[in-house]
A = this chain, B = another copy of it.
Amino acid sequence: MADDSTKPQATAPGACESFEFRSIGHVRTPYTEKFGTPRQSNLVNDTTSTFELREDLNPEIFDGLESYSHVWLIFVFDRNGTQEFKKVKVHPPRLGGAAVGVFATRSPHRPNPIGLSLARLLRRDGRRLFLAGLDLLDGTAILDIKPHLPSREHPAEAHEGWSANLAEKTLQVSWLESAQADLHHAFGVDAETAKRAITQILEQDPRPVVYRGHADNPNPYTSRYGFVHAGWNVVFDLPESNQARVLALTAWPQTQPETQPKAE
């Protein structure tokens, strides 16, 4: 069980140190591209993701974790390409144009592209965890898993900052009858669960800001959108600015290059 490659290595003493970490495993989620992936954890609860522990780690490392309802995942934003960190300020969709420093956000574009997500622990099976509410892209590398301690990690006096009361406008979601038929064809007995998950994703308006347009200036690029969910391309439009309508689910070959709109 000795694992001698993960100790921190300080390459420069003093002001700036460098540390090397190895993934402890990866998650499998229904989300294969940023478009259509929930922006935060627990926005979409009706998906089950799995975490699989690295083969050389003893699964007893999870013993006792089953007793907690929620776990923290510390992960690497490694599935959005390797963009260099350049801008210290970002424009969160909910602020509609205003900029804040990246350390005042949960943006992936940070000096160290490390993420923190809370997930509901459904069950554990040996070296595998079943999780709900994850907002991670399929294949994301995980660095650490810790129990959530509600007694310590929710101070009564805690208050939210600029993001409070700035819930994004949610969309009303409808399905064409033919899209529901596609759904049953695609997901079989899991159709209703998949429908809830896709509906929750659409309620949050998954479109990047650049594709949303404004009231006076609708999206100049396209009126139809698609995002890949669990291997299926979910095609939708917006018949009204507060409504999303699922038009079809079409097979999405894993090997096909992405042609959907990309987030920023």
State the A residues within 8 Å of B (CB): 1-8, 10, 15-24, 40-42, 54-58, 60-70, 72, 74, 76-78, 82-89, 99-106, 110-114, 116, 118, 120, 141, 143-155, 157-164
Contacts and interface: CB of A to CB of B under 8 A. Distances in A.
A118 to B, nearest CB: 6
Nearest to A98: B64
Contacts of A17: 22-23, 76, 78, 141
A8 B80 CA distance: 11
A114 B89 contact: no
29 contacts: A1-B87, A3-B84, A5-B18, A6-B111, A8-B76, A10-B78, A18-B22, A19-B21, A19-B78, A19-B141, A19-B143, A58-B88, A61-B111, A62-B104, A64-B100, A64-B104, A64-B105, A64-B161, A65-B101, A67-B162, A68-B159, A103-B144, A103-B145, A114-B144, A116-B146, A118-B153, A147-B160, A147-B163, A149-B160
3 pairs of A and B residues whose beta carbons are closest in the complex: A67-B161, A64-B100, A64-B104
Contact of A152 (B18, B62, B118, B141): B118
B161 A66 contact: yes
A103 B152 contact: no
Contacts of A89: 60-61, 63
A148 B101 CA distance: 15
A8 B83 CA distance: 9
A194 B147 CA distance: 31
Contacts of A158: 69-70, 148, 150
Given A76-B19, A84-B7, A116-B116, A64 B151 contact: no
A146 B61 contact: no
B68 A4 contact: no
A55 B101 contact: no
